[in-house]
Structure formats: structure tokens, C-alpha cells
Amino acid sequence: MAQFARPRVAAPRLEREIFVLVSSGRARSRKEIAESLGIAPSTVSQRVQAMLASGVLEETGEGASSGGRRPRALRVPGSTGYLGVVDVGGTHARLGILRHGGELATTTEVALAIADGPEPVLTQVTTALRELAGTLGSEAGAGAPGSGASADGGRLLGVGISLPGPVDVARRALDSPSRMPGWSGFDVGSWLEDALGVPAVVENDANAMAVGEHFGHPRRTRHTVSVKAGSAIGAGILVDDRLHRGAGGAAGDITHTRIPAAGDTPCSCGNRGCLETVASGAALVRLLREQGYDVAATADVLDLVRDAEPVATTLTRTAGRHLGEVLCAVVNFFNPGAVYLGGALSTLEPFVSAIRSQIYEGAHPLMTRDLVIAPSALGADANLVGVGRLLEDALVPHALAG
Ligand SMILES: [Zn+2]
């Protein structure tokens, strides 16, 4: 049967996957677990039984028995609650509360300046997160924080944050980000844990987006590349449903790939001729300014292209072709099932269609035959959902962590 086609999963990893499904609320029964993982119900029952015996899971469902076996739901003891998720950009942060089941219950945005440094920014973020959680509590009819688990609200179980720079995930700190004074090496994870009293995960924004998009599209594929094209360009990779960070945590960083069309143009990385210098929002701003246009930020470029301004449209299409050229090599090498396009530039039709045609023309037919190239499914919420998934993984008890 097709549902058993998935490769056999080793027991520790299987228990971990079961735990995450149950703790996140995406599966509540053995049947739902078996369907979600595509493995035999008997295998699931065996593992669940062991997890019940060790107290990692418990059964609920006090409903009266109607003769047969009463349906019992699985849950993680003490897990009633929600996750705080944050996506920090250069000039604003988007925040959300993820409820049990992975649904974004509510979101908000706050203006900030990442160049102010970590402590002012994180103080703003935690204040806003507490306020957001407060609104959720009153909606759900929950009592004051600390009054115990309510039916739906519960308490904050963890916080996940995505940051716009290279992240050392183990140290939970940024690693030499450009234009972010004070952030390099600052332990964002510990700061958040001290401030909020719950576990924290820290991730790079392109990776967070990639995880969100990977699980957010209705037609699922196990191998995906997600590209974030905004004022800079980033990409994240999932292999076999797991984020691939690479040996140094920099996997997917295609923005500094040198391409002939970029010539000798100096790049923010200190090199010359990088993709970023011809295909990013910052590059489009520079190119338009060179032609006398009064533009200051990527948002100005978006306005011009949406108004069908011919020069901006042509430059944007060319930028898409350059990015598509680099993605051809990525697709040929990695053979993904889908390439998802996010970030502000990916809301522009000329940019997306240029990428699409470049990949379909340039990559090998075996790679493109079943390849899906699709715009972001989650838009501005992709990072929040993605960092929430990573947080769910991080909340797995040490006994199951593998
Ligand atoms: Zn560069």
C-alpha cells in the first residue's frame, strides 16, 4: 500500500516525530499519527504504548463509554499552552501566537531599528509579545497568567525568533551580520529565556521561511528550496522534511554566488560580482538611482513595477533572470520537488515569471518535469510558522532527542 512506501524510520527518531505531532496538536490519535507519518498503525501503536508507559505521553478522554472502547486522545503531560513566534526584520518585527495545532491565533507588527542593537530590539519584542499574549488570554477567557491551564489558552511554552543574518544555531547568536552593530555573538537565546522564562530557539530568516513554506503548501513534497528575495536574497533547503543547515550553518546562501552579468560590481560581502549586486531589492534601488530615479528602498521599486513603469519593470525582469540562472544550478544539483518564492520581490509578476522561465529553459528536463515553482503560500507569516515548527522540535524532551 502506498501509505507504507515511506522508508523505515528508526525507533528514536520515530518516537521523536510522534512526540512533535502530539505536542503540536497536529495529531491526536494513533490513527492520525499513522496517517501523518505514512507508516503502519501497528508500528505506531507499539511506539505509543512504550511512550505511555514511560510517561512521555498520556491519554485523555473521560467521556462515558458507550459499550465499545471509548475514543481516547493522546497528549503530552503539561503541554497545554501556546508558542510565541517572532520575525525580526531591518525596520520592523512581526509577532504571532501559535496555538496548539499549529494555527496562528493572532499576529501584530511593531516598528523598530535593528541597528539599535540587540537589547533595545529584544526588549521591544518581548514587551510586544507579552501584550499580544494578553489579548489572546482575554479572548480565550483564560485567567491571569499563572492561574493554571485554561481550556484553550494555557501558558507560554516557548519562544522562537528569526533574525535577518547568518545565525549560529548552537550558540543562538548572529555570526558577523552586516549592518547590525552589536549583534554578532550576542546570545539572543539566553536573553529571551531570561526575559520570558521559557525555552527559546533562534534561526536565520531564510531558514525559518523555508520551514514554514515547506509544510505550508497543500501539495506536499519532501525536498524543497525556498528563496527569499527582498532587499537581499536568501534561500533555505529542506531534505526529506528536515532543514539542511550545512556544515557551517550557511547552506542556501546563494546571494554571494558570482555571476558573469554582475561584472566587477562591489558587494556587501567584500567580494565583487555577486548575485546580490544584480538581483536583490538593494541592487534594483541602486540601478534605478543610477538612471536618475528617486528611490530609496525596495518598497519604492515595488511601487514603480506595480505601476508598470517600463524601466523598473525591465530591470526587475532582468533581476529575476539572474536569480533564475543561479537557481538552475541549484535545481540541477539538488533535484527538489518544489521551489517556493517568497520575499517582497516575489510579489512582482515580472520577477517571478522571469525566474520561472529561466529555470524551465535552463535546468535539465528530468529536473523540471515534475518541479513545482510556486509563490509563497504563507506570505508574511511563513517565518512565524517556520520558527514555530523549529521550536516544537526543540521542545522535545532530552530523553527523545536524537
Ligand atoms: Zn557578495
Query: What residues are paired with 204 via a beta bridge?
Result: 163
Ligand 1 centre from 293 Cα, in Å? 24
Q: Are 160 and 85 contacting, i.e. CB atoms less than 8 angstroms apart? A: yes
In CATH terms, are 82-209+383-401 and 219-376 the same topology?
yes
Element (H, E) at 73: strand 73-75
Query: Letter for the amino acid at 10?
Result: A
Tell me what percent of the chain is helix, strand and coil, each rounded to the nearest 5.
Answer: 45, 20, 35
CATH code that applies to domain 82-209+383-401: 3.30.420.40
Backbone angles phi, psi at 60, to 5 degrees: -125, 180
- 339-366 residue pLDDT tens: 999 999 999 999 999 999 999 999 999 9
Element (H, E) at 59: strand 58-60
Supply the pLDDT for residue 4: 36
Rounded-to-integer distance, Cα 328 and Cα 52, Å: 48
User: Rounded to two decimals, what is the model's pTM?
Assistant: 0.85
Ligand 1 centre from 60 Cα, in Å? 54
Domain ranges of the chain: 11-75, 82-209+383-401, 219-376
Rounded-to-integer distance, Cα 267 and Cα 269, Å: 5
Class of domain 11-75: mainly alpha
Between strands 167-168 and 104-111, the pairing is unpaired
Query: Exposed, middle or buried, 104 (CB in 10 Å: 0-12/13-18/19+)?
Result: middle
Q: What is the pLDDT along the chain (402 residues), one digit of tens a residue?
A: 333 344 445 567 888 889 888 888 888 889 999 998 888 999 999 999 888 888 888 888 754 455 555 567 888 877 678 899 999 998 899 999 998 777 888 999 999 999 999 999 999 999 999 999 888 755 444 433 433 333 345 788 899 999 998 999 889 999 888 778 999 999 999 999 999 999 999 999 999 999 999 999 988 899 999 999 998 899 999 999 999 999 888 899 999 999 999 999 999 889 999 999 999 999 999 999 999 999 999 999 999 999 999 999 999 999 999 999 999 999 999 999 999 999 999 999 999 999 999 999 999 999 999 999 999 999 999 999 999 999 988 888 776 765
Query: What residues are paired with 229 via a beta bridge?
Result: 233
Ligand 1 centre from 229 Cα, in Å? 15
**DSSP H helical ranges for 292-348:** 298-306, 310-334
Ligand 1 centre from 258 Cα, in Å? 8
Ligand 1 centre from 274 Cα, in Å? 5
Q: Are 338 and 221 contacting, i.e. CB atoms less than 8 angstroms apart? A: yes
Sequence-ordered strand ranges (E) for 183-241? 200-204, 224-229, 233-239
What are the distances in angstroms from CA 292 to CA 100, 187, 277, 308, 312?
A: 52, 43, 18, 17, 12
Rounded-to-integer distance, Cα 98 and Cα 104, Å: 5
Q: Are 16 and 402 contacting, i.e. CB atoms less than 8 angstroms apart? A: yes
For domain 219-376, the CATH superfamily is: ATPase, nucleotide binding domain (3.30.420.40)
Ligand 1 centre from 259 Cα, in Å? 11
- DSSP reduced 3-state for 227: strand
Ligand 1 centre from 247 Cα, in Å? 20
Backbone angles phi, psi at 102, to 5 degrees: 85, 5
Return the ∠ at Cα 72 (arms to 66 and 76), rounded to 5°.
Answer: 160
Supply the pLDDT for residue 332: 96
Ligand 1 centre from 46 Cα, in Å? 51
